Amino acid sequence: MFETSDLSPPAEAVRDEHAPDALVIDCERDFETLPPAQAEDLGLLVDGLDPVSYPDAWLPADAPTLLARYASSDLTIGMPGDGSVVWTRQTDPPIVLVKPRVEGSPEPFIEFLLAEAFVELGLETPEHFLGFFEERYVDLDRAVERGPNSTYQIAAALYDGWLGLQTRETFATWHDQADRATLGDSWQDAGTRLEDRVGELSRAVARGDTDFADATELACAAIKHAIELPAPFGALDTDAYRHHGREYAIRWAEKTFDALAE
């Protein structure tokens, strides 16, 4: 099901700088979360496995089953919302998994997704929002009050946005580096494709055309592309969020959902 993959010179240059030990692995089958037996098969390609686990107290009583499994001692790789390229440090060395769903995407965009994974690996931040929110995840759940799946989606989006605040400075430098200019072009092109959708978000939510959790996901995905965000999402594109992280995210959620309730 798994086999190691070669990299293009631009993606390899980014890996060498940010995550030199990372292995890139192509997956034969698509997945959101790898079945435990298949996840353990990765042990044949790496030196060791080190499953992450978190305290039960960090989860609301009605947390989605997959989130509870991720928090347990089970080796859980890949979660809903992760996208086409997934990275994990639960293996030694860390790995980047490429799902078959990328087939048909432009090659420069796939290279950008790989390069993005290497940059994120190099930050040594948590690989999932639960490691970001920690015990405050239950506070986010209380602020959202729209059910466990909406809380999950909004938490994943908020963490993605926070990561984007860390990574976009690196992405923006690629235009000036001859060996990474194509990656810079792909980053910019992906942002351009999002601009019109992001600009319409507030009106789409007000009309009921877009669920608020979906809107949050799109807005936070745009942060890494340095796109101007409409209210209330513009408050997430700030140095305050970058520096204060989860506390800022929870306060934003409290204020935002109080305003929506009114």
Cis omega before residue 108 (within 30°)? no
Quote the DSSP letter at residue 119: H
Helix, strand, or coil here: 23? strand
CA 154 to chain centre: 12
Residues 20-53 pLDDT 10s: 999 999 999 999 999 888 898 999 999 999 999 9
Cis omega before residue 93 (within 30°)? yes
Can you tell me the distance from the alpha carbon of 103 to that of 109, in angstroms, rounded to the nearest whole number?
11
Predicted local confidence at residue 1, as pLDDT: 78
Predicted local confidence at residue 197, as pLDDT: 94
CA 255 to chain centre: 24
Q: Are 189 and 220 in contact (CB under 8 A)?
A: no
Predicted local confidence at residue 79, as pLDDT: 95
Nearest to 144 by CA among 131, 132, 157: 157
> For the chain, what is the domain count?
1
pLDDT at 105 over 80: yes
Please state whether beta strands 2-4 and 91-92 pair in parallel, antiparallel, or not at all (unpaired): unpaired
Residues 110-169 pLDDT 10s: 999 999 999 999 998 999 999 999 999 999 999 999 999 999 999 999 999 999 999 999
User: What is the extent of the structural domain holding 162?
Assistant: 2-261
